[in-house]
Amino acid sequence: MENIYQAPASELVEPTTHNAFFVTSIRKLVVLYFATFGLYAWYWVYKQWQAYRANTGERVWPVARALFQIFFMHSLGRAISRRLEVEGLGRWDYGANATAYVVLVIASTALNFVVGGEAPGMLNLLTILVSLACMLPLTAFQKMANQACGDSLGQGNAKFSWANVLWILLGVIFWALTIAGFLLG
């Protein structure tokens, strides 16, 4: 005999309230990375791991993973690839992008130590170009993270906030001073 007072038996699934990863448009990523001379990458890595922790409940330290990002880019790529598989979107071969990012960050850091502000203009320019090249693998990461979260274009975070605009304005001033230094130096 059926108990009419019993709640219906069904599988309870908690809705995910967080994206598995930080979603943003590629345009916003590129503009903020360029405007901040690459400093945005630290924030970007932090936000990726913060979203991952919120979604999975894993005990990761987003600040540490941002500070030591070269050691965690492959694991971030692996996590994005796993999420793509879970969502039925296939696998992502992240290795080349993660390795390229790590190599470019190390090269950029090494060049900054070598240059130290006293090098000829061409070496300073090379340092800036290598630093900006780090943006290329990050855009590949972002495309896959957006796709894994069901927002391929990153429209959920495509608008620039007042804080973003402030960083862009500071970046414009810094870029102007850098270009003036090249022209006058």
User: How confident is the model over 16-50, as pLDDT tens digits?
Assistant: 445 899 999 999 999 999 999 889 999 999 999 99
51-65, 93-107, 115-129, 168-182: which range is least confident on average? 115-129
- Give domain limits for the chain: 26-184
pLDDT at 168: 94
Mean pLDDT across the chain: 87
| SS3 labels along 119-136 | CCHHHHHHHHHHHHHCHH
pLDDT at 9: 60
DSSP label at residue 160: P
| Whole-prediction pTM | 0.83
Cβ atoms of 144 and 94 within 8 Å: the answer is: yes
Cα–Cα dist 80/86, whole Å:
10
